[in-house]
Structure 1
Amino acid sequence: MDAVGSIKKLNNQNYSTWATYMESYLQGQGMWSLIGESETQEPVVDNNAIEKWKMRAGKAMFAIKVTMED
């Protein structure tokens, strides 16, 4: 998560740049599929898969939240 700290925080003037960096970061961390692709919903397979999904989703949410201005 160190690289996420180098992303300039989202404000009302830099969405396009922020979105590009955030997408690249999430792709590099294997979390992009959680945002708008195949894994947007919690799996119903088994408890282990659910816990792994929740962990990845939590990391993605954290990365997004800490790169937004208050």
Structure 2
Amino acid sequence: MKQQSNQQDALGLPELIAMGVGGMIGGGIFSVLGMAVGIAGRAAPLAFGIGSLVAFAAGYSYIKLALCFHSDGASF
């Protein structure tokens, strides 16, 4: 038997950030990590940092674009 709870089930900021990062990174990071380290060597963390900045810039542009068009629904 399920007990009643007064607590609301809601996603907070940490949960939403984790879902966003998980959706953006996905499993691809694990499949290309060895190749990236083989090519970049000791500069692999720097390469991932630069790539993160590029991804952040792309995501930020989508945020600004979404703020220009006030509508409900998904992108398709």
- Calculate the TM-score normalised by the size of structure 1: 0.35
Structure holding more helix per residue: 2
Higher RCO (CA-CA < 8 Å; seq separation 6+):
1
TM, length-normalised to structure 2: 0.33
In our comparison, the structure showing a higher alpha carbon Rg is 2
